[in-house]
Amino acid sequence: MVRLVYGIAMMGLLGAGCGWAMMPPRCDIGMARVDGQCVPKPTIVFRQCVEAFRTTRVQRERGDAIAVGGAVPRAGSARLEREHRDTEERELASLPEADTDAIIEECRRQEQAERSRLLEEAWAAAEEARAEAKAAHADARQLRSSMAALDAAIEEAAEELEQERARAEAREAELAAMRALAERDHPCALERWSACAEAAAADHESGEFARAHQRYALACEAGQPEACGNWGVLFEHGLGVPVDHDRALALYDRACDEEDLQACVRLGVARLATEGTLGEVEAQLRRACDEDVARGCTALAQGLPAADDDIGALLERGCALGDARGCRLLGVHLEREVAGRNPTSPYRAVH
Same domain membership, residue 244 and residue 292: no
**Position 116 in a domain:** no
Domain extent, residue 215, equals 189-259
Number of domains in the chain: 2
Report the Cα–Cα distance between both ends of the chain, in Å, rounded. 138
Residues 235-249, mean pLDDT to the nearest whole number: 92
Same domain membership, residue 248 and residue 194: yes
Measuring CA to CA, which residue among 300, 298, 301, 303 is closest to residue 274? Answer: 303
Residue 166 has what pLDDT?
A: 93
**Position 194 in a domain:** yes
Same domain membership, residue 245 and residue 287: no
Same domain membership, residue 201 and residue 248: yes
User: Per-residue DSSP letters for 100-143?
Assistant: HHHHHHHHHHHHHHHHHHHHHHHHHHHHHHHHHHHHHHHHHHHH
**Position 132 in a domain:** no
Same domain membership, residue 290 and residue 243: no
**Position 182 in a domain:** no
pLDDT in tens, 176-217: 887 777 666 688 888 889 999 999 999 999 999 999 999 999
Same domain membership, residue 207 and residue 253: yes
Residue 335 has what pLDDT?
A: 84
User: Per-residue DSSP letters for 11-71?
Assistant: HHHHHHHHHHHTPPPPPPTTEEEETTEEEEHHHHHHHHHHHHHS-EEEEE---EEEEEEEE
Same domain membership, residue 303 and residue 245: no
Same domain membership, residue 340 and residue 295: yes
Residue 217 has what pLDDT?
A: 94
**Position 286 in a domain:** yes
**Which CATH number characterizes residue 220's domain?**
1.25.40
Query: pLDDT confidence of 231, banded at 50, 70, 90?
Result: very high
**Position 60 in a domain:** no
**Position 299 in a domain:** yes
Q: For the whole model, what pTM was predicted? A: 0.47
**Position 145 in a domain:** no
Residues 242-269, mean pLDDT to the nearest whole number: 89
Characterise 120 by phi-psi region: left (phi > 0), alpha (psi -120 to 50), beta (else): alpha
